[in-house]
Structure 1
């Protein structure tokens, strides 16, 4: 006879809700195993003289729930193989709701030649729907309190969080929920729902979730669904929806008229406005500017979605796949001891991707891959780095300084010849040489230029403030006074920075 395990559900704890079929199996069992004896139905078993074994001791013996569940499944399989009669395994609630051991048995029984039969029981969800009073057809999700992620949360769905066993788990749940929901949002905690004399329901603000002390095996947290803007506006889905509305016939006339080309300068400007916030101690401003940059990505994606090209979900999907593919030392078996190893892995994978697209990396120019729309200083820097990587570079700093001086002399000659074309060309050569100098000094030229711009802005602002204090404007001063104030600004602002 084939070994057999019969899994039955003990229901939510109300004896009147136990199914007749499950009760018959419990009465007839030669060997009855309980995942835990900490369940209201155990008293009914004891009252009717039904013997059982429980796996509660395994919870003390192992360090994680995963290890406990694996051990339970293993013991059940061994018991079934050693018994001539079916082993009855009873779990709280319904066997197919939040029961990891049952999922393990479903996977392992066919491989080990053990027959598996499942008999339903009332789930704690049945009592949640009844006692809390919501209809799951409105939108519903069940999540695990021991492994809760903010990425699973959707405020437009009723959210029931099970396996909130204690205040430590409740604290983790609270912190995760607070990433999306406001601290004062009312949530509901239910204990032993539907069990006479044991049921307790608390309606509390989210920040008090871990203040309760009566959590146990039959506890859950319910976050009611909501269409409130303050909740929906913190989701990517709402952003996607808003951008689609703006581009719709009923949306904004300006947004409807935009194209990839008309938005080019906006994308660049928003990127630079983000860069400016990196030098400020103002996280709120940075978040705002990052949002403006994200809007540009959403608009370009929406334009393509309307034309049948791709959607923003395609953008996200392609990015996720690329990140996983190019980080095999994180998501695969490859190793990377340091940042240099990681970068080398990245470059090798990029080369392989090109080959898969029919492009031979060996036939590409060494200078390929530098975007043509980059700002001049940044592009010069990247071109020089690529050339230097194959040995086309100066060997000493002194040689670079000589080139800078030589290019400056050629600018002077072009000025003397009064040729605009020559002046423009020689000035470009001088700037290119200065970028080379920055590279040798291991200084990003764009960062150096940004610092110089900020310094000029602050010093010129000092001149403006001092003139206003004197009751003057620029028409009432001269270069000599402004130069004097400039020199004063250099000293004052340097002191302030120190």
Structure 2
């Protein structure tokens, strides 16, 4: 006779939720394994002569739920193979709803030569739909609270009713609260249900979200209901709402200006928004940075939506490609390679880039050393990157004093150059200055940006002083402006900027 395991559901409440079929199976079993004795039906079973063996002790001896469930399944399989009759295993609720051990058994029993039977019982979902009073056909999601602190896969859609199950203590309640606060206002009303369907012990409490982990009484039969949002403003924190808005703007019923735009017409916007983000970084202004990052994201959304309209790709293809690239180029994180420091990590990244080119049919050996530098980078940044690539193969100055000499040479040539050659000579001088920046380990773009900011501060000081004296630029001379400039310079040095 083949070994067998029968998994039955004890229902979500007291014995009144037991199905007749499950009750007959439990009565006819010699003994019953139960995942936990912390369930209202267990006392009823004992009172009616059903012997139970609990796995509660495993919870105390294992470091994670995954280890607990794996150990339980291993012991059940051993018991089934040992003979002595079919193994009956009882779990809270329905065996196929939020029950990891059932899924593990479904995966392992066929390989172990064990027949597996799963018999349903009333799940906590039945009680939730009844006691909270919502219809899941309106849209419904189920989330495991125990996974919220370790997995980032859960996503809340405010348009759907959401149940968070296995909120068994204040720690998991806190994880649920933090997860929900990413998408909902702090005062959004949520409903906590304890021991739904258990006569005399059921409790249902409505609280603002921020109080979710301040409640007492969480246990194995606790869950949280997040009613679907009727106010569309709640969706303002969702990516899907952003995609929807951009789609509307580009639609025939949308904005005439947005509809007219092309990749080319808003090309410069992408650059401008990027620099506005950089400005907020330089100013150490998180509030402004938040806004400007939104403007930059809008450019990505608009370009993606334009391609949706031609049928080439959408923003989810962009995200998919990025996710795949990040995983592929970090084999020291998501694979079996190592990286003890940032230099090794960068080597892995570059190696994967080269491998991607080979797979795309590009002969890496035939590529220029200078390939990969974007054509439209700002001049100083592009010069810096070109020089770094050339230096990697030895085309570089050996000493800093040689670079200083080159700058002096280029400056002389600029002074002596006829007018039609000055543009080229000035470019040569700037290129040499970028070389010096590289030798001094200074980013030339950051250096010129800092000087630009300094110039603006000092010039605005001149404007301020002129306003205070009731003068305009036409009413003052260079000597007076230079005096104010030196005052501003002195103030900047005293302030350390």
Same fold? TM cut 0.5: yes
**1:430 paired residue number:** 429
CA contact (8 A) 2:246 2:302 kept: yes
CA distance in 2, matches of 1:120, 1:497: 72
Report the CA distance between 1:359 and its aligned residue. 0.7
CA distance in 2, matches of 1:302, 1:112: 51
TM-score normalized by the length of structure 1: 0.98
Q: Go from structure 1 to structure 2 and tell me whether the alpha carbon gap of 1:89 and 1:323 turns closer, same or farther (over 3 Å shift).
A: same
User: The residue matched to 1:233 in structure 2 has which SS?
Assistant: helix
CA contact (8 A) 1:377 1:446 kept: yes
CA contact (8 A) 2:143 2:154 kept: no
CA distance in 1, matches of 2:177, 2:374: 45
User: The residue matched to 2:237 in structure 1 has which SS?
Assistant: coil
- For structure 1, the residue ranges without an aligned partner over 5 or more in a row are none
Task: Map 1:72-87 to 2 at 5 A.
Answer: 72-87=72-87
**1:185 paired residue number:** 188
CA contact (8 A) 1:145 1:173 kept: yes
User: The residue matched to 2:376 in structure 1 has which SS?
Assistant: coil
CA contact (8 A) 1:150 1:177 kept: no
CA contact (8 A) 1:150 1:180 kept: no
- Which one of the candidate residues 312, 322, 326 is aligned to 2:325? 322
**2:481 paired residue number:** 482
Task: Map 1:256-405 to 2 at 5 A.
Answer: 256-405=259-408
1:281-310 Cα deviation digits (max 9, x unpaired): 321100100000000000000001101111
CA distance in 2, matches of 1:156, 1:374: 43
1:372-431 Cα deviation digits (max 9, x unpaired): 1000000111111111110000000000000001101111112xx3x2x21111111111
**1:452 paired residue number:** 451
CA distance in 2, matches of 1:469, 1:497: 25
1:228-251 Cα deviation digits (max 9, x unpaired): 233211011011000000000000
CA contact (8 A) 1:31 1:86 kept: no
Deviates more, 1:335-344 or 1:14-23: 14-23
**1:110 paired residue number:** 110
User: The residue matched to 2:196 in structure 1 has which SS?
Assistant: coil
Count of residue correspondences? 494
**2:10 paired residue number:** 10
TM-score normalized by the length of structure 2: 0.98
CA contact (8 A) 1:167 1:215 kept: yes
User: The residue matched to 1:220 in structure 2 has which SS?
Assistant: strand
Task: Please tell me the root mean square deviation across aligned C-alpha atoms, in Å.
Answer: 1.1
1:66-92 Cα deviation digits (max 9, x unpaired): 111111111111111112311100000
User: The residue matched to 1:278 in structure 2 has which SS?
Assistant: helix
Task: Map 1:53-64 to 2 at 5 A.
Answer: 53-64=53-64
Deviates more, 1:148-157 or 1:404-413: 148-157
CA distance in 2, matches of 1:189, 1:391: 67
**2:254 paired residue number:** 251
CA contact (8 A) 1:164 1:216 kept: yes
User: Is 1:52 equivalent to 2:52 in the alignment?
Assistant: yes
Report the CA distance between 1:442 and its aligned residue. 0.6
CA distance in 2, matches of 1:124, 1:288: 43
Moved beyond 6 Å, runs of 4+ = none
Deviates more, 1:40-49 or 1:456-465: 40-49
CA distance in 2, matches of 1:190, 1:497: 58
CA contact (8 A) 2:46 2:52 kept: no
CA distance in 2, matches of 1:300, 1:484: 50
1:4-28 Cα deviation digits (max 9, x unpaired): 1000000011322211110000000
**2:218 paired residue number:** 215
User: The residue matched to 2:33 in structure 1 has which SS?
Assistant: strand
